[in-house]
Amino acid sequence: MFDDPLRSARLQIMARRYSIFMYIPLLWTLWIMVLSDVNPWGWYFLGLLIILTLIAPVWFIYRGGQYSGDMARLTPSYDRPEGH
């Protein structure tokens, strides 16, 4: 549907938008498996992780306008065929 550079740019914008929701479970898993037993760094990392988990949805909504603008900029204009 799109040419290769445009498809790559759109995929990169989507990946940047949704990547936070891949990192948060990964970081929680890291904390549970490794860092929960390390004092005091386990507690510091837990605090940072809780803050990140609470801020992520707010950041996602806040950056929604920029995401829409970037996708609109990368979407070619649609030319309606004659007779429609």
| 4 pLDDT more than 80 | yes
Percentage of the chain beyond pLDDT 70 is 94
Q: How many whole angstroms separate alpha carbon 65 and alpha carbon 71?
A: 10
Angstrom distance (rounded) from CA 34 to CA 41: 11
**31 and 45 Cβ atoms separated by less than 8 Å:** yes
C-alpha count within 13 angstroms, C-beta hemisphere, residue 69: 5
Tokens standing for residue 5: 């550079």
SS3 assignment, position 80: coil
Q: Are 20 and 59 in contact (CB under 8 A)?
A: yes
Per-residue pLDDT tens for 50-81? 999 999 999 999 999 999 999 989 887 776 66
